[in-house]
């Protein structure tokens, strides 16, 4: 039996049914209904206007599904991204949909509204495309400062592309990696579709609070010499000692070379602030995508996201390094779900430093720690048995195993 869409496209249904279709009142799936409405809006002179009005007010959930689905018909995606039809709630999903061509996004970037400019500036896909960045910089709704920054990003992407080519890396391999990243992202969304629906649209709320990420104003940054002196004092007195602040007239406070005064001391905080601003503008799906495709800096922030799926997506990133996982395994400001997930990945659990950090982390679930203690070396068992931060059960087990390994004749009770 042919689909209703095929019957309507071939004009094989009565006018009354066509009118019902234009009002979105057919008993078909939401995806097929949107496809029918787009066809009527583009090709039917009688019911086209009614179909366009219906699409403009169509319920958000199924509209988002169509906008984000790479398998949506090209005519549907082209209609939704068109300037005269674009709905703000669908913008982020459309931007990241790999089935929408770079040329189409560049045209949207060049002529879009201020709302389009704001959304596209923080998109991971846009930030990795020279063509879209150039188009966005030319948009009259981008202010001069934004245009300059966008041109700088485009130049950086161009330089990176030249560097990759110069190093002999095949561009087809880079494209293949990008395709693999997209496939992994969509596989993650499919696997966790029910959980994603339950999460809703939670904003970015990192564990420990946003204040830990705040950028320090330049005027409040300590001078380089003071920082160096503080580090020297810490080395001599230990971390529990607090050195007295130098007086304004002391040699320590004034011993700053001209080169030191010009040092870009605020660069790391500025980068962190920029990453936070980008992340704060993204919805849950956007943050998941950034967690899997973004930079090390962005992963270090997103792994602390209070939304579990976002934090777990960091561990599914093909770009995450062993060093990053070692650090995450020792963090106390991540979800227990993250610490539980780490040993479930073979690549991570083969790393001894990851195992040691997990067992020594008081936030690691007890059952996970108990299963990993047996893998520790003697020196780490001894340290763990004296670690008052971990549960008593772990300390006692570590002590028993330490005694057993140092005295082979002693049997565990």
The C-alpha atoms of residue 142 and residue 292 are separated, in whole angstroms, by 28
pLDDT number for residue 214:
46
For residue range 25-47, list pLDDT tens digits in order: 999 999 999 999 999 999 999 99
Q: Is the model's pLDDT at 391 over the cut of 50? A: yes
pLDDT number for residue 270:
52
Closest CA to 297 of 318, 276, 267, 266: 276
Contact between 54 and 30 under an 8 Å Cβ cutoff? The reply is no
For residue range 72-127, list pLDDT tens digits in order: 999 999 999 998 898 888 988 998 898 998 889 988 888 888 888 888 877 878 87
Q: How far is CA 12 from CA 7, 9, 50, 220, in A?
A: 5, 8, 19, 73
- Counting residues of the chain whose pLDDT is more than 90, the rounded percentage is 42
For residue range 263-288, list pLDDT tens digits in order: 444 445 555 567 888 888 888 888 99
CB-count burial class (<10 Å; 0-12, 13-18, 19+) for 217: exposed
The three-class DSSP label of residue 282 is coil
For residue range 173-229, list pLDDT tens digits in order: 555 556 677 778 888 888 888 888 887 778 888 887 655 554 434 344 344 333 334
The C-alpha atoms of residue 166 and residue 175 are separated, in whole angstroms, by 16
pLDDT number for residue 272:
56
Q: How far is CA 60 from CA 87, 216, 378, in A?
A: 10, 40, 58
pLDDT number for residue 178:
63
Q: Is the model's pLDDT at 257 over the cut of 60? A: no
- DSSP labels for 304-336? TBSSHHHHHHHHT-TT--HHHHHHHHT-SSS-H
Greater model confidence, 241 or 82: 82
Q: How far is CA 134 from CA 106, 123, 129, 240, 407, in A?
A: 8, 14, 9, 52, 69
Closest CA to 49 of 22, 14, 80: 22
Domain ranges, ordered by start, for the chain: 4-165, 170-236+267-320, 322-413
Angle at the Cα of 91 (from 130 to 314), degrees rounded to 5? 70
């Amino acid at each position: 039996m042919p689909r209703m869409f095929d019957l309507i496209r071939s004009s094989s249904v009565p006018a009354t049914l066509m009118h019902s279709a234009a009002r979105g009142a057919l008993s078909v799936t939401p995806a097929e209904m949107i496809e029918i409405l787009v066809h009527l809006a583009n090709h039917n002179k009688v019911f086209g206007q009614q179909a366009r009005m219906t699409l403009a007010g169509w319920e958000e959930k199924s509209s988002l599904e169509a906008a984000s689905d790479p398998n949506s018909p090209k005519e549907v995606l082209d209609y939704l991204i068109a300037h005269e039809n674009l709905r703000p709630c669908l913008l982020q999903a459309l931007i990241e949909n790999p089935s929408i061509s770079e040329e189409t996004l560049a045209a949207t970037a060049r002529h879009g509204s201020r709302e389009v400019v704001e959304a596209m500036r923080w998109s991971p896909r846009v930030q990795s495309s020279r063509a879209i960045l150039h188009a966005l910089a030319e948009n009259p709704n981008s202010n001069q400062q934004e245009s300059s920054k966008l041109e700088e990003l485009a130049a950086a992407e161009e330089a990176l592309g030249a560097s990759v080519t110069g190093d002999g890396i095949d561009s087809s391999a880079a494209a293949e990696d990008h395709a693999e990243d997209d496939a992994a992202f969509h596989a993650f969304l499919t696997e966790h579709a029910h959980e994603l629906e339950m999460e809703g649209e939670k904003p970015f709320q990192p564990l420990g609070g946003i204040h830990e990420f705040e950028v320090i104003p330049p005027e409040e940054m300590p001078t380089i010499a003071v920082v160096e002196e503080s580090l020297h004092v810490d080395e001599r007195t230990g971390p529990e000692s607090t050195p007295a602040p130098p007086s304004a007239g002391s040699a320590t406070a004034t011993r700053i070379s001209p080169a030191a005064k010009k040092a870009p001391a605020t660069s790391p905080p500025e980068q962190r602030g920029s990453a936070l601003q980008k992340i704060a503008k993204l919805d849950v799906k956007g943050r998941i995508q950034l967690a899997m495709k973004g930079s090390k800096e962005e992963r270090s922030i997103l792994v602390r996201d209070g939304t579990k799926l976002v934090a777990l997506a960091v561990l599914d990133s093909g770009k995450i390094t062993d060093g990053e996982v070692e650090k995450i395994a020792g963090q106390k400001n991540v979800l227990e779900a993250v610490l539980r997930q780490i040993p479930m990945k073979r690549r991570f659990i083969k790393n001894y430093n990851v195992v040691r950090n997990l067992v020594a982390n008081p936030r690691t679930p007890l059952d996970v720690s108990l299963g990993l203690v047996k893998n520790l070396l003697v020196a780490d068992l001894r340290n763990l048995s004296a670690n008052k931060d971990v549960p008593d059960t772990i300390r006692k087990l570590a002590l028993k195993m330490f005694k057993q390994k140092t005295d082979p004749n002693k049997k565990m009770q």
